[in-house]
Each structure stands twice: as C-alpha cells, then as structure tokens.
Structure 1
Amino acid sequence: MSFKQGMKSTFRSEGADCAATIYYPDNKAERTPAILMIHGWGGIQLVLFKDFIRRFNEAGYAVMTFDYPGWGASSGLPRNRINPWERVRVSDSALTHLKSQNEIDENRIVVWGTSFGGGHAIDLAAEHPEIAGVIAHVPMLNGMAAVAAVPFLRMLRFSLDITLDLINPFKRRYIPVVSPEGEYSTMDRDGAGRLEDWVNEELEGKYDNRVTAASLLTMAPYQPGRNLHRIQVPGLIVGALRDTVAPFNEASVRSKVGSNISISTIDANHFDPYLQPWFEDNVTNQLAFLKQVIG
C-alpha cells in the first residue's frame, strides 16, 4: 500500500525552522479532529510512524508530525543533538502550529508521544488542560531508571565519548542511535536493530543514525513522570512490560495517575508495539480511546 503525501509546512521554534507535515484523512470534515505525534530519542517524522498515521487517517483524524531542530528536514546546529526540555518547548510550538490550521478543530486535538517523546507528551498535557486528551506510547517516564538499565561496560564507553564531545564542542563526537544487539549504539537492546531494516525498506535508508554523545547527559535528570498527577485531560498510557530501553514500572505509574488516565500494558519489549503482531491490538486500543475523546 502506497503512503499518501502530506501537506508540508514549517514553524519557528528555538531559533530553527522546524519541518512539519499534516496528513489529512480522505473523508476530512470542515473542522477535522487531529493528533499531534511527538517523536522519541532519535526519531524523525516518519520513522516507525507510517502504520499509525495510516490507521489514524482511516479513522477520520488528521495527523501532524514534525522534526526537532537539528534533526531530519529541520534547520539548526549542531545536528542530531538532544535536549528534552528544549524538545518540550518545540512540541509546544508544534501544537500551536497545528491549532492554527484552518482545517483543524482546535478543540479536538490529542497529543500523542512515543518513547522519549512519550515523556514530552506528558509534560505538554500537564501544561495544556484545553487539549482533548493525551496518549503516551511506551513512554520514557523516569530517566534515572533508563540509565540504570544500561550495562556497566556500555556506560563506561558512553562516558569516554561524552568526555570527548565536551572537550571539543566544535568537532562533535557522535554515537549511533540504534544498532543490532551487541553493537555499539545508544540502543541495541529490545530488537532495536529492526529499526535499521524498517528504515531501509520504508524510507529507502534515508536516516542519519547518530546522536551527539553529550546528549546522553540529559537522560537521567529528565523525569516527566513527575507530571503525571498534574494531567487533567483524559489519557492513555501504553506500557511494555519487558521494556529495557524505557523501563515501565506499572505500580509506580498507577500510584501517580488519576481516574482520568487509563493504563494499557503489552507483554512486549520497547520496539515490539510498533510492529506486527503486537501493533494490531495496540492501535485498536488507541483508536477506541480516540473515539471516546474526540469522536
């Protein structure tokens, strides 16, 4: 099945022109409900999103994706740097951009974030009680837990690259974002190597698989789970029980959320829920939530 072309635009945030794309459903209404999709750690607009976009469009929802400054089709230097607090601000600007579109019903927008971006979706929802809802998909809610899951020898090698990156910021030190298990990257666990196959098949290999080493320093202090209790809108959190990239502590999450937040768990690792056979039940559950909150 061919993938439909979206409407491209840009918005300004953090000193960069950020690339955005809106995919409208074939049967769009005069004012269409919409989903803002927020990417994870090393994600760019379509990586692992295509199947979700198709299904959301088929259900009648517009979908907007975007690239963070320095990533994908967006401007900004240095390239492929990560700062989660900056990314939350960029996501806020993306939400404003989506609301400004004439075809979009600004009262029926759901913020959807995945992995590292799942934490950004939580942060955004805590600040925007006017949105219709939030979905946090295999979210990274506790940066310290994510760092603690990294093997010791890998952490030592990360430390060397981080030091070299900080010593000479004019010649950035990069680490691969993903790799097959056992190879050096920020994510080689939970079948992360499958992402390379997906990029080659779906994006014709057009992905810059690297991140600045110093970006890893932002992981541990980033704690979006602390904002769970502040969310007033309806929410759905999808957690993977065998996730070692963004470990999901179901009991801890349940203790922090109110009755407006539903929790759905999948017996899977971090990357499984994006792919079949896990994807089908996963997206069906999300579509049921979307129907409930935006029709």
Structure 2
Amino acid sequence: MPHTDISFKTSDGVTLRGWFYTPTSKSADKLSCLVMSHGFSALKEMDLDTFAEYFTTTLPINCLVFDNRGFGDSDTLAGQPRQEIIPSVQTADISDAITYAQSRDDVDEEKIGIWGSSYSGGHVLYVGAVDRRVKAVLSQVPCVNGWDNFNRLVRPDFAVATNGLFQKDRLDRAAGKDPISIPVVDEDPLKTSALPTPDSYTFFKGWAKKSNWKNEVTLRSLEAFRAYDPSAHIHHISPTPLLMTIAESDVLTPTDIALEAYSRAREPKSLHIIPGGHFDGYSGLNFEKNSRKQAEFLKKYLCS
C-alpha cells in the first residue's frame, strides 16, 4: 500500500519517525486517520505495517504508524538513554502524534482514532480518556494494570531481588553511572527478563532475525511498568467508542485482568475475544478475524 516516511516533533522536542499510509484510491476529501503505536520495546515493522495496510485497503482511512521514542528509527531526548520505556512519556507522544496528524492537509482533524497493542493497548485506554480529540479507541491484548500484571509474571521471591535491583539502579543513576539494562526476553523464563513467557521469547526472537529490534530495555522500564495503571480512567473514555480485543489464553497480559478492566468501561463499547495467546492476533487466521472486526468498528465509528 502507498506509504511515505514521516517525522514529527514531540512537545519536548524529540523527533519521532514512522510511516503514513493512504488508501490506493485517492480522495479529494480529507480522510479520518488512525494513529498506531506498538507494545513493549516493539518496532513499527513488527506487524503494525500489516494492520495499516489492511485498514487502508479496506477503508477510506489514513494510518499513521510510528516508533516509540528511543526505539527503532525514533530519537530520544538528549541525555536520556535509548531502550527506555516510561509510560507517561509514551502516552504524551501519542497525543503529539495526534497533533501531527491533525496538522496534515489530507486528514480530517475531527476524525482521529488511536490503535494500540499490548503495552500501547494500555496507553490508548489512558489517552482515549484524557485526550478528547480521540473519536475511536482500539485496544488490542492490552496491559491494563501494571501492578497486577507484574505480580503475575514475577514470582514473589524473585520480586524481592528485583526490588534490590531497582534501588541499585536509582543509586547508580544518581552517581552518574550508566543505567542498568536487562533483556526483554530470555529463552529461560526463570532468568531475569522484562517479559518472562515462552511465547514472548518466540515472538521477539523471530523478529530479531529480520529487523533492528534489540533485546534490551533499561531496568527502570520494568519499575515504571509495575507502577502503571492505564485502566484507572477507562470509565472516562465514554462517550468515545471503545473496542477491546482480548486473547482467551493470554498469559502475558492476562485475560481475566483485561476482562475486569473492560467491565468498568462504559458504553459504547465492544469486546472481541480471539482464540489463542497474546501474540496470536498478529498473523494467520486470527489476523483475518481480528483485523476484519477492527475494520468493521472503524467503518462504523470513524469512517462514516
């Protein structure tokens, strides 16, 4: 599908880079735009392009896909480490991406939707609640509560040692030392990593062979993840329409935690439960079912 390289500045002056997709059939009218961002450490090449291509093939819609700051093609703030994920910063960057989309001559500024998956699936719940420019929210296999999620992934006896590492990292940074980094994934789920599940290892190691994804995040990213509760404002998304896609056997962002958050959202809302685990909506037969449902939602609420 036609797409162009784009870049835009955030409110604190960081350049983020990505792609802007347009439908094959050009329109003289301004079109709605879906702002899309990826999950924990993931890059735009890791299937976001597949979703953007599907949406712009199926609908009269533009899609803006970008790399989070400090990852892939995007810059980070001077003096700050790359490979660091701070939720409040990433959610602010999504709002800045909305501003960029609104500034374009080919975008209807009153028809902006946001799409997020996994970690950014949580981000869009927050942004959809507090940024009233958003007219549709699509949240896929979201991390909805970092505290609960962390304590599902990390054994209590391991958490004690992790707390000690958090303290050491803060002291090291204060002393001017480099921040501590950990792997995103490890083949051994008992070893230290940010996402200690076998399906996470399979997904990311597959992409490591065909992208510039790096198996590294700062330890502070994990501490920030534990403190993050993007579903706290989920009831404030309404009256903006919400579609939440949840995998029935998700162990990375557990199914029951996501369902509990969905129960607190107000109408209009839609729930789509797909078979399989966290990463099974990105490809294969699940992708067809998943993307078709999302396109129907977009057609109803953003492209009408």
C-alpha distance 251-89 of structure 1, shift in aligned 2 (>3 A): closer
State the alpha-carbon separation in 1 of the partners of residues 198 and 205 from structure 2.
14
Q: Does 1:140 align with 2:147?
A: no
Which of the numbers 168, 180, 189 marks the counterpart of 1:173? 180
- Equivalent in the alignment of 2:19: 21
1:187 to 176, 192, 195: 195
Find the aligned partners of 2:43 and 2:241 in 1 and give their Cα distance: 27
Normalising by structure 1, what TM-score?
A: 0.90
Q: Matches of residues 45-60 of structure 1 in structure 2 within 5 Å?
A: 45-60=44-59
Q: Contact 2:249–2:276 (CA<8 Å) still a contact in 1? A: yes
The question of 1:241 aligning with 2:248 is answered yes
Question: In structure 1, what residue type is equivalent to 2:232?
Answer: R
Q: 1:4 to 1:200 in 2, by over 3 A?
A: farther
* Kept in 1: contact 2:42–2:213 (CA 8 A): no
Alignment of 1:224-239 (within 5 A): 224-231=230-237, 232-239=239-246
Give the whole-Å Cα distance in 1 for the aligned partners of 2:92 and 2:64: 16
- Cα pair 1:181 1:192 within 8 Å, conserved: no
Q: Provide the rounded CA distance (Å) in 1 between the counterparts of 2:63 and 2:259.
A: 32
Closer/same/farther in 2, CA of residues 144 and 244 from structure 1, 3 Å limit: same
1:171 counterpart letter in structure 2: D
Partner Cα separation in structure 2 for residue 87 and residue 177 of structure 1 = 18
- Are the structure 2 counterparts of residues 154 and 48 from structure 1 closer, same or farther at C-alpha, using a change threshold of 3 Å? farther
Say which is worse superposed, 13-22 or 223-232, in terms of deviation. 13-22
Alignment coverage as a number of residue pairs: 291
Structure 1: which 5+ runs fail to align? none
Given residue 38 of structure 1, which amino acid in structure 2 is its aligned partner?
S
1:150 equivalent among 150, 153, 174: 153
Question: Which residue of structure 2 aligns with residue 260 of structure 1?
Answer: 268
Q: How does 1:110-121 map to 2 (within 5 A)?
A: 110-121=113-124
By how many angstroms is 1:212 displaced? 0.2
Q: CA deviation at 1:190?
A: 5.2
Equivalent residue of 1:105, what SS?
A: strand
Task: Tell me the CA shift for residue 259 of structure 1.
Answer: 2.2
Match in the other structure for 1:62: 62
Q: Secondary structure at the match of 1:147?
A: helix
Q: Cα RMSD (Å) of the superposition? A: 2.2
Structure 2 residue ranges without an equivalent (≥5): none
Matched residue of 2:39: which SS?
coil
Residue equivalent to 1:126:
129
TM, length-normalised to structure 2: 0.87
Matched residues in 2 for 1:168 and 1:254: separation?
A: 39
Trace 1:205-220 onto structure 2 (pairs within 5 A).
Answer: 205-220=211-226
Aligned partner of 1:264: which letter? Answer: H
Q: Confirm or deny: 8 A CA contact 2:244 2:271 kept in the other structure.
A: yes
